[in-house]
């Protein structure tokens, strides 16, 4: 907060079916610590009916207060660290572009063997930097969760950028600014939905169309049951299991959209008149247009102006929040002569 009463705006943002930001919760607290994060996550759990055994994925910049709150409330959840923030810490000592490229290649690996191979390449390039990275458990930054290939937390930063003009206002005015922004966002997304053609969201359709290119070059061999061997160029050979809907490259499981090996397999299966021919049925339902529409069926209600607000019968008089010194270096005002 930049207004007369300093504080922190905590935000929890997810991704919708079109890979756009989907704000879930926001709150204004005195400071960013374990107590405030735990309070926000408890309310989020109540609203979304999340139990302690929920296995959702949380991604953040690695703040200790948030990590402790997630571990206490959702012990089965996966807590990932933003790759960009990891690199920000890395470049304090290793700032060259090559270090960033090695980090991103390791984080983007889709299989364990590929990850280990890229980590060895990083170690050959700079053993000390690789040892520094190994101190962070790969479970917190490498790709591993199904239908979740997000590596950075820029979705929260995008949302924070949208509400930046509201942070220099009073508390109630700031909350109203955010509420009105959400109303406008829902309307803009509804306009995008009308432009969607086909059963998938626009982003999912573009990704699927891009993966279809070059598929004709793959050679597909059927084993007579539910598995196919798909061979491409440069030793690109994987096994597709149509019953369990898996591919050994793991891109299908990680994102939920068929990879090139799966698309080549489906093209081979299309020669069988009894096989499933609709490729869209092999895309995870999170990318269906119907799912996208359902997510935005919940609206932010408009409210009346302040003169029409009912007066509260609460005998307690609300007083302004106490002033608190903000974390970080105070801003200096330039004195003009």
How far lies 78's CA from each of 12, 57, 67, 140, 225, in Å?
A: 15, 5, 10, 8, 35
Which pLDDT value is given to residue 326?
Answer: 59
Which segments of 16-141 does DSSP mark as H helices, in order?
34-48, 64-73, 83-90, 97-108, 112-125, 127-134
Q: What tens-digit pLDDT sequence spans the chain (337 residues)?
A: 887 777 889 999 999 999 999 999 999 988 888 999 999 999 999 998 888 888 888 888 877 788 899 889 999 888 888 999 999 999 999 989 999 999 999 999 999 999 999 999 999 999 999 999 999 999 888 887 667 678 888 888 899 899 999 988 888 889 999 999 999 999 999 999 999 988 999 999 999 999 999 899 999 999 999 999 999 988 899 999 999 999 999 999 999 999 999 999 999 998 776 666 688 999 999 999 999 999 999 999 999 988 898 888 888 887 776 666 656 666 555 555 4
Q: At what angle do helices 97-108 and 83-90 cross, to 10 degrees?
A: 150
How far lies 3's CA from each of 110, 171, 282, 317, in Å?
A: 45, 8, 50, 22
0.75 exceeded by pTM: yes
Is residue 170 within 8 A of residue 320, CB to CB? The reply is no
Closest CA to 56 of 116, 146, 132: 146
Which segments of 91-201 does DSSP mark as H helices, in order?
97-108, 112-125, 127-134, 154-162, 171-195
Which pLDDT value is given to residue 333?
Answer: 58
Look at the alpha carbons of 22, 28, 33, 35 in this order and tell me if their dihedral is positive or negative.
negative
Spatial distance between the Cα atoms of 268 and 277, rounded to a whole number of angstroms: 10
Spatial distance between the Cα atoms of 93 and 119, rounded to a whole number of angstroms: 19
Domains by residue range for the chain, with CATH: 1-82+153-195 (3.30.420), 202-292 (no CATH)
């Amino acid at each position: 907060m930049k207004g007369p009463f300093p504080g922190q705006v905590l935000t929890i943002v997810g991704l919708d079916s079109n890979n756009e930001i989907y704000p879930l919760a926001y709150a204004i607290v005195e400071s960013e610590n374990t107590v405030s994060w735990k309070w926000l996550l408890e309310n989020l759990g109540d609203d979304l009916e999340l139990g302690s055994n929920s296995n959702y994925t949380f991604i953040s910049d690695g703040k200790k207060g948030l990590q402790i709150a997630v571990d206490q409330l959702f012990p089965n959840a996966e807590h990932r660290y933003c790759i960009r923030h990891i690199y920000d810490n890395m470049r304090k000592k290793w700032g060259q572009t090559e270090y960033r490229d090695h980090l991103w290649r390791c984080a983007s690996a889709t299989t364990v063997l590929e990850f280990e191979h890229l980590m060895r390449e990083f170690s050959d390039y700079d053993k000390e930097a690789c040892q520094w990275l190994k101190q962070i458990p790969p479970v917190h930054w490498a790709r591993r969760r199904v239908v979740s290939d997000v590596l950075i937390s820029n979705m929260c930063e995008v949302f924070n950028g949208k509400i930046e003009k509201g942070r220099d206002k009073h508390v109630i005015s700031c909350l109203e600014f955010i509420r009105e922004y959400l109303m406008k966002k829902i309307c803009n997304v509804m306009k995008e939905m009308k432009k969607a053609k086909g059963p998938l969201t626009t982003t999912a359709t573009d990704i699927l169309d891009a993966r279809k290119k070059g598929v004709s070059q793959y050679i597909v061999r059927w084993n007579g049951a539910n598995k196919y061997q798909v061979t491409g160029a440069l030793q690109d050979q994987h096994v597709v299991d149509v019953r369990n809907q898996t591919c050994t490259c793991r891109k299908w499981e990680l994102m939920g959209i068929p990879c090139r090996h799966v698309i080549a397999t489906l093209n081979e299966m299309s020669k069988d008149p009894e096989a499933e021919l609709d490729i869209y049925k092999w895309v995870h339902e999170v990318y269906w247009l119907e799912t996208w529409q359902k997510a935005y069926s919940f609206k932010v209600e408009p409210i009346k102006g302040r003169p029409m607000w009912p007066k509260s019968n609460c005998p307690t008089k609300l007083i302004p929040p106490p002033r608190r010194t903000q974390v970080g270096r105070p801003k200096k005002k330039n004195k003009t002569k």
